[in-house]
Structure 1
């Protein structure tokens, strides 16, 4: 994966946003939150705005800040994870990164509606928004319920020429590859070996025989049993029971390749 802002993290974020936007429960929650805030009128809006104005104000703040924050944090967390950072650290950085545009949106709204100073507002709000953004990002990950999703059955493919590099004693029934610095550990149904190659080179040579599912993992299609989600983490479950993590920026491609269209 190139060390630049690429479209992989953005593609994943848009995929997740479309999936979330298709859920009626999400919109019911957003409407409920907007109505409650509009009726209660926190942060001085009860005294300064009529009820219709309060509901409109909080609806715009909730919707715009949520989507900007969601997309920003998802992209940044994906890029952080793609560079090898642990998932909790990636989530925290995503939440912190999202706090700046969210604080900017709320400050701009306050400046437009109440005549407040934009820079004073953003300086006042940013620390609070940063804490809330990190907490919400963490809760969003944890609260995603467990789910096991069957995948499209793979046809038995022809063995790629690349598998001839495997020692005869472990056979050519390749299950998975794992990156190890400048080497790759190749695992078959009979054992494993260390090869001096890169994941990118192996992935290109193996083609449709398998999928790159993580910066450090590749799996053979015929060995994939199900996709499992648990506490926000996506895993590939193999036929032998092993679980392989799916990197954030690979999730949309993995789902598209393995799940039947709805």
Structure 2
């Protein structure tokens, strides 16, 4: 692995999107929403389009606009936080800016398919898109914070029993964990190994021994040297000089845990 891991806004955004895209419940919710909207036919589409066409139209619109808005708003909010702008202001900035390309995409699609005037359609759509972007951004942040949970308590705890899973030849000086599908890659100063578990379960079992940095990364407290920003994105610097990314929704809990 490289010394610098995922330390740019673009890389962090792509990493978060990949994690989200692997979630079956996310796709079920997104496609379910598109299907329900297609059946109800808002904005005049109920009378203008046949049922199958209307449903396909809304499934396409919901899916493409969500991903476009999510990627833009996440990247913008992450950049804003890199300049010291905290939530919810950074989230609002991200949602506001994301509404512009989403509106342009919708107006362009309508112009190509339905021959509607681009500018007129865009001006009519922008207020609705902006409200939806703010709502989706707030909901996504609430869900993410709920998944992250509260910052770990500062009460010292004994060496966790989870370390017993490490092979004898790697010792017990755990440095970090990296999620890899249904496994976590555990690294010590003597090497690394794969352990079949989830990063969330491992982080819970390890407790105060370390801190969750990202949906894909956990690090032992003793291995941390500093918390810094690289290219507008926060990273944790390890004693060995290696840098690991800090996910946007984990920043508050990481700072609190490492304070």
TM-score bin, normalised by smaller chain: 0.5 to 0.7
For residues 204-250 of structure 1, give each alpha carbon's deviation from its aligned partner in whole angstroms, at most 9, with x where no partner exists: xxxxx64654438856569xxxxx99x94445669xxx5148xxxxx
Instruction: Give distance in 2, aligned partners of 1:9 and 1:53.
Output: 38
Check conservation: 1:143, 1:232, Cα contact below 8 A: no
Q: How many residues align?
A: 181
Q: Does 1:79 align with 2:79?
A: yes
Q: Report which of the two structures shows the higher radius of gyration computed on alpha carbons.
A: 1
Show the counterpart of 1:57. Answer: 57
Q: 1:124 aligned to 2:124?
A: yes
CA distance in 2, matches of 1:213, 1:235: 12
For CA contacts below 8 A with separation 6 or more, give which structure has more relative contact order.
2
Counterpart CA distance in 2 for 1:221 and 1:28 is 42
Asked if the contact 2:20–2:26 (Cα under 8 Å) also holds between the matched residues in 1, the reply is yes
Supply the distance in 2 between the matched residues of 1:114 and 1:93 (Cα, whole angstroms): 31
Distance 1:105 1:44, change over 3 A: same
Partner residue of 1:110? Answer: 110
Following TM superposition, by how much is the alpha carbon of 1:93 offset from its aligned partner in structure 2, in angstroms?
A: 0.7
Contact 2:99 2:130 in 1 (8 A): yes
List per-residue Cα deviations over 1:170-221 (Å, max 9, x = no partner): xxxxxxxxxxxxxxxxxxxxxxxxxxxxxxxxxxxxxxx6465443885656
Match of 1:20 in 2: 20
Contact kept, 8 Å, 2:65 with 2:102, in 1: the verdict is yes
Alignment correspondent of 2:139: 139
Structure 2 regions of 5+ residues with no counterpart? 1-5, 153-161, 164-172, 176-187, 191-222, 241-245
| CA distance in 1: counterparts of 2:126 and 2:94, whole angstroms | 15
TM-score by length of 2: 0.60
Q: In the alignment, what sits opposite 2:90?
A: 90
Cross-structure match for 1:153 = 174
Decide which moves more: 102-111 or 31-40.
102-111
User: Distance between the aligned counterparts of 2:68 and 2:42, measured in 1?
Assistant: 22
Q: Structure 2 CA distance, aligned partners of 1:59 and 1:217?
A: 37
Question: In 1, Cα distance between the equivalents of 2:106 and 2:26?
Answer: 21
Cα distance in structure 2, aligned partners of 1:100 and 1:123: 10
Alignment map for 1:190-229 (pairs within 5 Å): 210=224, 213-215=227-229
Q: How far apart, CA to CA, are the structure 1 residues paired with 2:125 and 2:64? A: 16
Q: Shift in Å at residue 89 of structure 1?
A: 1.3
Preserved contact between residue 217 and residue 244 of structure 1 (Cα < 8 Å): no
Write the distance in 2 (CA, Å) between the matches of 1:218 and 1:62: 36
TM-score by length of 1: 0.59
Instruction: Specify the alignment match of 2:170 in structure 1.
Output: none
Q: Is the 8 A contact 2:226 2:238 kept in 1?
A: no
Deviates more, 1:107-116 or 1:64-73: 107-116
SS at match of 2:88: helix
Contact 1:95 1:133 in 2 (8 A): yes
Note closer, same or farther for the CA distance 1:212–1:94 as it changes in structure 2 (3 Å cut).
farther
